[in-house]
Amino acid sequence: MKQALFGKTLSELQQICRDLEMPAFAASQIADWLYKKDAESIDEMSNLSLSNRSKLNLSYALNTSLPSRREESSDGTVKYLFAVAGGNFVETVFIPDHERATLCVSSQVGCKMNCLFCMTGKQGFSAQLTANEILNQLRSIPESRRLSNVVFMGMGEPLDNQTALFQVLEILTASYGYAWSPKRITVSTIGHIPGLKRFLDESECHLAVSIHSPIAEERQKIMPVEKAFPIKDVIEVLQQYDFSHQRRLSFEYILFEGLNDSIIHAKKLVDLLRKLDCRVNLIRFHQIPGVDLRPSSETKLYAFRDYLSAKGLICTIRLSRGEDILAACGMLSTKARDQAIDEDSGKQGV
């Protein structure tokens, strides 16, 4: 199978040109066709010589693909299904909101983190997505050129897939690529400390940390990652960086009835975040099968927000989008689809 050209960084394209004995300047020309002109094939790259296009075609293809399924919510949110390598699938969510248009992209097939409240975690982990497969989610939806923001909050833990993530962030922000401002990009993490340190050192994109409880013992019950990467250690890392300028730091906090929604929890959260220039996004829980958790009442949700705001924390309540098509926070999963495909394959084999 031919290698994917789309998703290569400029340095990778330069190496390809050296390997194929093409002129050095051809790498910038290829990048221009890939990321600015949306070429559909190598043959469209008309400022490359016919000979050089033939060389590329022998081993490479763009390897872009359209989504295999589209579902639209009553609120205008659109969920796309993409086929990726190994017979797997991932979901991507487009969220229009007046002048903003956000795409929530996936970085893995499933997830290793197994958070109790997340359908992706219940699916388990199957594969890392390549830079090609992540960027294809942005390129290949009909709304691609309307996008104002992208958030790495879909399936998977982005910082557990560092190789592909940092390739994609480079291509999105570099002048040879899409030339986006880092302020248009947010990467979400459960607090994967090795990846977090690299991200903070190498990127100016916004950061969102999933916390969901300020109490370590309680957090570990719903987020097993607390054992490997305690939230207090995550906070200590974050305190070493400056978030008062371009880069924004936010904490994601889903409220569960009777678990983490008391004023005591709000007070402990304020104490934990006191030394950070940050904001808190409160999120309504969307119930998933087989999990004995319930969303907090609206009264507790607003009381929690008001307490944080009164203590000087910028706090917002995230609007739920796409719940009716299982596109809201924590609801992405392709497990049922993968099982159906396996069953169909088994029937065909018989």
pLDDT digits (tens, 9 = 90+) for 39-59: 999 999 999 999 999 999 999
Q: What is the pLDDT of residue 239?
A: 97
Work out the pLDDT band at 275, boundaries 50, 70, 90: very high
Work out the pLDDT band at 347, boundaries 50, 70, 90: very low
Q: What is the pLDDT of residue 348?
A: 35
Q: What is the pLDDT of residue 320?
A: 75
pLDDT digits (tens, 9 = 90+) for 100-148: 999 999 999 999 999 999 888 888 999 999 999 999 999 999 999 999 9
Q: What is the pLDDT of residue 290?
A: 85
Q: What is the pLDDT of residue 217?
A: 96
Q: Shortest CA distance to 174 belongs to which of 330, 10, 58, 319? A: 10
H-assigned helices in 38-161:
50-59, 119-123, 131-139
Q: What is the pLDDT of residue 349?
A: 35
pLDDT, mean over the chain: 92
pLDDT digits (tens, 9 = 90+) for 335-345: 655 544 444 43
Residue 33, C-beta contacts closer than 8 angstroms, at least 6 positions apart:
39, 44, 45
Whole-number percent of the chain with pLDDT over 90: 84
Structure tokens at 237: 């890392």
pLDDT at 334 over 90: no
Instruction: Indicate the SS3 state at residue 124.
Output: coil
Residue 216: Cβ within 10 Å count: 12
Q: What is the pLDDT of residue 246?
A: 81
Q: What is the pLDDT of residue 337?
A: 54
Active site residues: 91, 329
Q: What is the pLDDT of residue 335?
A: 63
Cα–Cα distances (Å) from 157 to 80, 114, 168, 188, 334, in that order, read: 19, 10, 15, 8, 16
Residue 223, C-beta contacts closer than 8 angstroms, at least 6 positions apart:
113, 115, 116, 190, 210, 212, 213
Work out the pLDDT band at 330, boundaries 50, 70, 90: low
| Mean pLDDT lowest among 203-217, 239-253, 292-306, 312-326 | 312-326
pLDDT at 324 over 80: no
Helix (H) / strand (E) element for 154: namely none
Cα–Cα distance measured from residue 308 to residue 315, given in angstroms and rounded to the nearest whole number: 7
Cα–Cα distance measured from residue 164 to residue 115, given in angstroms and rounded to the nearest whole number: 23
Q: What is the pLDDT of residue 342?
A: 43
pLDDT at 323 over 80: no
Cα–Cα distance measured from residue 311 to residue 271, given in angstroms and rounded to the nearest whole number: 10
Given its phi and psi angles, is residue 331 left (phi above 0), alpha (psi -120 to 50 degrees) or beta? Answer: alpha
Q: What is the pLDDT of residue 121?
A: 82
pLDDT digits (tens, 9 = 90+) for 162-205: 999 999 999 999 999 999 999 999 999 999 999 999 999 999 99
Cα–Cα distance measured from residue 337 to residue 255, given in angstroms and rounded to the nearest whole number: 29
Work out the pLDDT band at 319, boundaries 50, 70, 90: confident
Q: What is the pLDDT of residue 152?
A: 97
